[in-house]
Amino acid sequence: MAQVQLTVNGRAISRDVEPRTLLVHLLRDALGLTGTHVGCDTSQCGACTVHMDGRGVKSCTVLAMQADGSTVTTIEGLSTDGSHALQRAFKEEHGLQCGFCTPGMIMSAADLLARNANPTEHEIREALEGNLCRCTGYHNIVKAVQTAARTMQNA
């Protein structure tokens, strides 16, 4: 066992973990943050995307020990009440269907918008390329990111 210390959604945590524990399992199993989904365990689907030190990462490929000392934001930390512009836009633009991919899509989009406040459609599609939607709702997902970008610029 090894101890990891990190800040998750603004809260300092310290946990003993097995050396091979993945960040996604620390978040879901030890901390109860089930908004971060496990889809493929191979970084192919993007459902487990979170922010680590301000950048989007697929938490199924990061060991909890690698996150030691980091700041992690999950979908629950983006907004506790669904008021973030991306969360609202996904709802308004019907960018979610079954909802399984939604947290990863939103966290990837938030990473993009933090770096590029006015992305083109191509840039949005490129940023979301590592996220799969089983329901194939990509058109509305892209519209949702565009809407959120406009909302955030006007705020």
Short-list 149, 75, 65, CA closest to 107: 75
The CATH number of residue 18's host domain is 3.10.20.30
Which residue type is seen at 103? P
- CB proximity list for 132: less than 8 A, separation 6 or greater: 39, 44, 45, 46, 47, 101
Short-list 74, 79, 82, 87, CA closest to 28: 74
Residues 100 and 124 reside in one and the same domain: yes
Full-model pTM: 0.95
Structural domain of 15: 2-76
The CATH number of residue 130's host domain is 1.10.150.120
pLDDT tens string, the chain, 155 residues long: the values are 999 999 999 999 999 999 999 999 999 999 999 999 998 878 899 999 999 999 999 999 999 999 999 999 999 999 989 999 999 999 999 999 999 999 999 999 999 999 999 999 999 999 999 999 999 989 999 999 999 999 999 98
